[in-house]
Amino acid sequence: DQQVKQNSPSLSVQEGRISILNCDYTNSMFDYFLWYKKYPAEGPTFLISISSIKDKNEDGRFTVFLNKSAKHLSLHIVPSQPGDSAVYFCAARALIQGAQKLVFGQGTRLTINP
Amino acid sequence: DAGVIQSPRHEVTEMGQEVTLRCKPISGHDYLFWYRQTMMRGLELLIYFNNNVPIDDSGMPEDRFSAKMPNASFSTLKIQPSEPRDSAVYFCASSIWDRGSPLHFGNGTRLTVT
C-alpha cells in the first residue's frame, strides 16, 4: 500500500525553465509534507516543507503547493539550474497511535539540460 | 556540526554472514530512524527510536533484523543471517521532536550480499 506516490520516475527540463514535480497521497492523517533532494552516493537532504494548514510555502527558487482536497502536492523550481539535477523525494508525516510516521514516495529523477 | 555519521560506507558480505551497520546521530537529536532504499520499494522506514527507546519497529522485515540504541550517540542495525535480498542502501537519520522538523540523513551504507 503506497501511501505517497510520485508517478513520474523521471523528468527532463531545460535550464532556466520551470521544473514541476508532483506527489499524491492517500492518508488524510498526514499533516506535514516535505521535499528532499538526493545526489548519488549521498543521503537525502531536506529542501522545503509545508504544513497541512497552508496551501503554499516559498523559499527562494523553490515553492511547494498543497491541494488538500485533491491530496496532491507539487514542488516548483524556478528557474531550474544544472545543480538541481538530482532525485527528489516527497515525504508525508503523521502521528499515528503515538508514533511518528514519515512515508516517502518512490522519487523522481530530475535532469536539467543546459 | 558533523551531521549524521554512518559506517561502513560499503559492505560486501556472503549470504549467511552477520552484518552490523552503525550510526552516530547529530548531538541533541532525540529521534533516530533507520531507512532502507531499494529500487523496488524506494525509501522505507525500518524502525525508529525516541530517547534511545524503540517506538515503532513495524517496518523491520524479519526477525533476522534487529536494531539497538544503547545511548544517545550510537545505534546499530544488525542482520543475521544476511541474504541476497537484503542488498540495499541503508540510511540512518536523526531529528529533534517537532513534527515540522526535517530528518537529517547520513550518507548511507551500501550493502551487497552475495
Who has greater pLDDT, A97 or B68? Answer: B68
Write out residues 57-86 of B within 8 Å (CB-CB) of A: none
Do A43 and B106 lie within an 8 Å CB cutoff? yes
Q: Cα separation of B6 and B22, whole Å?
A: 6
Do B91 and A43 lie within an 8 Å CB cutoff? yes
**pLDDT for residue A9 is more than 70:** yes
Strands B109-113 and B10-13 turn out to be parallel
Q: Cα separation of B73 and B63, whole Å?
A: 25
- Dihedral angle sign, alpha carbons of residues A65, B45, B93, A7: negative
The pLDDT > 70 percentage for chain B reads: 96
The pLDDT, as a whole number, for residue B80 is 96
The pLDDT, as a whole number, for residue B56 is 87
> Which cell goes with B100?
515540522
Of the candidates B45, B48, B25, B102, the residue with the CA atom closest to the CA atom of residue A98? B48
Q: Cα separation of A86 and A35, whole Å?
A: 12
Q: Cα separation of B104 and B90, whole Å?
A: 14
B35-74 pLDDT tens trace: 999 887 889 999 999 999 998 898 898 899 999 999 999 9
> Which cell goes with B28?
541533541
Please give, rounded to a whole number of angstroms, the shortest distance from the CA of B101 to a CA of chain A.
Answer: 9
B interface test, pick of A100, A101, A104, A106 with most B CB neighbours within 10 Å? A100
Please give, rounded to a whole number of angstroms, the shortest distance from the CA of B56 to a CA of chain A.
Answer: 7
Q: Cα separation of A51 and A34, whole Å?
A: 9
Do B43 and A93 lie within an 8 Å CB cutoff? no
Of A36, A93, A106, the CB nearest to B99: A93
Lowest mean pLDDT among A77-81, A94-98, B78-82: A94-98
Neighbours of B6 (CB within 10 A): 22
Query: Mean pLDDT, chain A, as a whole number?
Result: 93
Who has greater pLDDT, B58 or B12? Answer: B12
The pLDDT, as a whole number, for residue B100 is 66
The pLDDT, as a whole number, for residue B99 is 61
